[in-house]
Amino acid sequence: EVFTMFSNSVTNGGKTTLAEKLKKMLPNCDIISQDDFFKPESEVETDERGFKLYDALDALYMDEMVTKIHNWIKSPASSGIVTEEPRTACDNQKNIYILIVEGFLLYSYEPLNELWNRRYFLTLPYEECKRRRSTRVYQPADPPGYFDGHVWPMYLKYKNELEENASMQVVYLDGTKSQEELLSYVYSDIVQELNKLRE
């Protein structure tokens, strides 16, 4: 049996760290990251201000990502997962394979919307998000005004679309909370969902 979950987030919201920690705690768990499917800079559109439009689905090879996810679901046991054997609340879930897909735009992509057992969305307020973004090194580097002119407006656009979609069940997480709090909450939530799946 396969359980798929998705961690979506504003830029620098902590989704990758959360996903990696969950992988260590959950049995038969693997991660697919949206960041691995960015097009090269030369293929990313530029707007009239000269901003590269990275925070848009067109900047990604989404068809390749969909194929990778479907292939994993068809044959999770052959994906090279290394199963650790910690004594956890998941010990009775050994026959379930878990896929965490982490990224920043996946709920806006229709071909993936039917796949998720659980959806999480990490949020951050503007100032904290901008502060964290400023501490990261990107290739290519953010040009002046990029966060306010492209990154933050695109986040608000997609978040508003998500909130307006009544059929989309999403667990919103406060990205200002400690990693320990977020990890504890999401882990407990996943264990509950796995137990329902077994029933």
The one catalytic residue in 35, 58, 63, 148 is 35
Which pTM value belongs to this model? 0.86
What pLDDT was estimated at residue 90? Answer: 53
Q: Is 35 a catalytic residue?
A: yes
pLDDT tens digit at each of 199 positions of the chain? 678 887 777 787 788 889 999 999 998 999 999 999 999 999 999 999 989 999 888 999 999 999 999 999 998 877 665 555 444 555 555 678 999 999 888 777 888 888 888 999 999 999 999 999 888 888 778 889 999 999 999 899 888 888 888 778 889 999 999 999 999 999 999 999 898 887 7
Pairwise CA distance, residues 11 & 159, whole Å: 12
Residue 168 is part of a domain; what is its CATH number? 3.40.50.300
Q: Domain total for the chain?
A: 1
Residues sharing a CB contact under 8 Å with residue 69, sequence separation 6 or more, in sequence order: 4, 32, 99, 101, 112, 115
Range(s) of the domain holding residue 70: 2-198
